[in-house]
Amino acid sequence: MSVVTLEKCRENIRKQLDNVVDFWLKYSLDRVHGGFFTCIGKDGKIYDELKYVWLQGRQVWMYCRLYRTMDRFHKPEILEAATVGGAFLRKFARVSSSSGQWKCAFCLTRDGKALKVQRTIFSECFYIMAMDELSRLTVEENFPKQLFSEQMMEQLIYWVQVDPSGLGRPQLPGEVPINSLSVPMMLMCLVQQLTEGRGQEVAQKYKELGNWCVEQILQHIQRAGTAILENVSVDGSELPGCQGRLQNPGHALEAGWFLMLYGAQSGDKEIHRTAIRNFVELPYQYGWDKEHGGLFYFLDVDGHCPTQLEWSMKLWWPHCEALIAFLMAYSHTRKPELLEIFSEVYQYTFSHFPDAENGEWFGYLTQEGKVALDFKGGPFKGFFHVPRCLYMCERILDDLLENKD
């Protein structure tokens, strides 16, 4: 890509971000009960009123981040959406578990009644992200949002590192403890969130956890560095069966840019090289569909057909993570081959996912790249991966173009 092409790329990304923000501001906010509708059809119609806590937290975080860091989004309607969503989240998301600890629901009714609780940490993770980012915008004496996020974080650390029984999962006789890539990834994301701009005292508080996350993520480099596996044993060895052979290129790429940020911030050059080599370049090499283009959703490291029915589909979020990962890798190294791959991913993504007629992006394509599910939001697709990708890529491109010499 030439400088001129990078400028056109930035212009397109900027327009896409404006379009996506406008879509969600127009259709998503529930002005009656608070929070956000996320089950939104291709033309903006709400097709289900259930509210998913993952997506509520992500949307609050994204609005706050845009409002706080980009001048053109420093608008009252974005602040209003963030604060209304945050109020709904803090009022209804937390439910008491059987152990007496606070869990966050996975799904709520429109008016905030808990409908389903998952036995995982992810609703809590996105609650923490939302509360911490919101605390950077608003100050309320009766609502210590930062304290809420820190208290929930301590509970998460306890569940992950000490005793998971508070999650509510029974210990079954055939169960083998695993290290799932998503857990240390998510905790690393939270460490980066909670420490950003908070000073040395907070950075030191979470330093040990950040190092632990890196160690756990690196365990997923398997087969002499030729594969990233989604699940490994707690001692870092390969697991048997489909679970052990599973690969998720999108997750690996997301872990890659998390590790790049860690390496850049800590000055650890070896981690930075590993992030690019093993978690960015490698997942692209085995995850890119050479016939139809795009990233496969799941793969089996031994070439068996994955058991996930959607394995061959092209989903929005792995492509978002690939765009961030390759553009960040190029910005850190200036290696032209990384920019070439970014360009390939960019061309595929922007020619397949955006909906020029109704706005926003489709999320689920067939292997051949045709729209399979035409809604714009659902139980797992909300206002997060697309705007975060566009936001981050725009900022990286700003930096590249300002320092092009």
Per mean pLDDT, which range of 161-175, 281-295, 314-328, 370-384 is the poorest? 161-175
CA–CA distances in Å: residue 250 to residues 53, 234, 276: 22, 22, 14
| Average confidence (pLDDT) over 353-360 | 98
Q: Within a domain: residue 293? A: yes
Q: What is the CATH number of the domain that holds 285?
A: 1.50.10.10
Instruction: Tell me how far apart the alpha carbons of residues 249 and 74 are, in angstroms, rounded to a whole number.
Output: 35
Residue 178: strand, helix, or coil: strand
- The separation between CA 167 and the C-alpha centre of its own chain, rounded to angstroms, equals 22
Please give the single-letter amino acid code of residue 105: A
Structure tokens at 69: 């860091």
| Average confidence (pLDDT) over 118-138 | 93
Instruction: Tell me how far apart the alpha carbons of residues 185 and 91 are, in angstroms, rounded to a whole number.
Output: 27
Q: Within a domain: residue 338? A: yes
| pLDDT tens-digit series, residues 311-352 | 999 999 999 999 999 999 999 999 999 999 999 999 999 999
Bridge partners of 114, per DSSP, are 108
Tell me if 339 sits within 8 A of 283, measured CB to CB.
Answer: no
| pLDDT tens-digit series, residues 183-240 | 999 999 999 999 999 999 999 999 999 999 999 999 999 999 999 999 999 999 999 9
Percent of the chain with pLDDT over 90: 90
Q: Within a domain: residue 323? A: yes
- Please count the structural domains in the chain: 1
CA–CA distances in Å: residue 69 to residues 19, 89, 125: 18, 22, 22
Tell me if 132 sits within 8 A of 177, measured CB to CB.
Answer: no
The pLDDT confidence band at residue 142, using thresholds 50, 70 and 90, is very low
The pLDDT confidence band at residue 140, using thresholds 50, 70 and 90, is low
Tell me if 40 sits within 8 A of 94, measured CB to CB.
Answer: no
From the list 359, 355, 350, 322, the residue with the least C-alpha distance to 338 is: 322
Q: Within a domain: residue 286? A: yes
Q: What pLDDT, on the 0 to 100 scale, is given for residue 99?
A: 63
CA–CA distances in Å: residue 43 to residues 120, 218, 333: 33, 42, 41
3-state DSSP percent of the chain in helix, strand and coil, to 5: 55, 10, 35
Instruction: Tell me how far apart the alpha carbons of residues 145 and 91 are, in angstroms, rounded to a whole number.
Output: 12
Q: Within a domain: residue 228? A: yes
User: Measured on CA atoms in the order 247, 160, 389, 313, is the torsion positive or negative?
Assistant: positive
Cα 309–Cα 310–Cα 316 angle in degrees, nearest 5: 170
- Give the domain range for residue 198: 179-374
Q: What pLDDT, on the 0 to 100 scale, is given for residue 149?
A: 82
Instruction: Tell me how far apart the alpha carbons of residues 273 and 225 are, in angstroms, rounded to a whole number.
Output: 13
Cα 215–Cα 219–Cα 221 angle in degrees, nearest 5: 125
Per mean pLDDT, which range of 142-156, 284-298, 357-371 is the poorest? 142-156
Q: Within a domain: residue 154? A: no
Tell me if 245 sits within 8 A of 301, measured CB to CB.
Answer: yes
Per mean pLDDT, which range of 32-41, 129-138, 219-228 is the poorest? 129-138
Tell me if 53 sits within 8 A of 89, measured CB to CB.
Answer: yes
> How many beta carbons lie within 10 A of that of residue 282, not counting itself?
20
How is residue 180 annotated by DSSP? E
Instruction: Tell me how far apart the alpha carbons of residues 336 and 333 are, in angstroms, rounded to a whole number.
Output: 9
Please give the single-letter amino acid code of residue 59: Q
Q: What pLDDT, on the 0 to 100 scale, is given for residue 98?
A: 59
Q: Within a domain: residue 7? A: no
Instruction: Tell me how far apart the alpha carbons of residues 365 and 316 are, in angstroms, rounded to a whole number.
Output: 8
| pLDDT tens-digit series, residues 243-256 | 999 999 999 999 99
Q: What pLDDT, on the 0 to 100 scale, is given for residue 36?
A: 98
289: left (phi over 0), alpha (psi -120 to 50) or beta: beta
User: Does the structure show a pLDDT above 90 at 283?
Assistant: yes
State if pTM tops 0.75: yes
Q: What pLDDT, on the 0 to 100 scale, is given for residue 359?
A: 98
Q: Scanning the structure block, which residue is given the tokens 């492509």?
A: 319
Label residue 37 exposed, middle or buried (CB < 10 Å: 0-12, 13-18, 19+). buried
Q: Within a domain: residue 276? A: yes
User: Does the structure show a pLDDT above 80 at 96?
Assistant: no
The pLDDT confidence band at residue 139, using thresholds 50, 70 and 90, is low
Instruction: Tell me how far apart the alpha carbons of residues 230 and 113 are, in angstroms, rounded to a whole number.
Output: 34
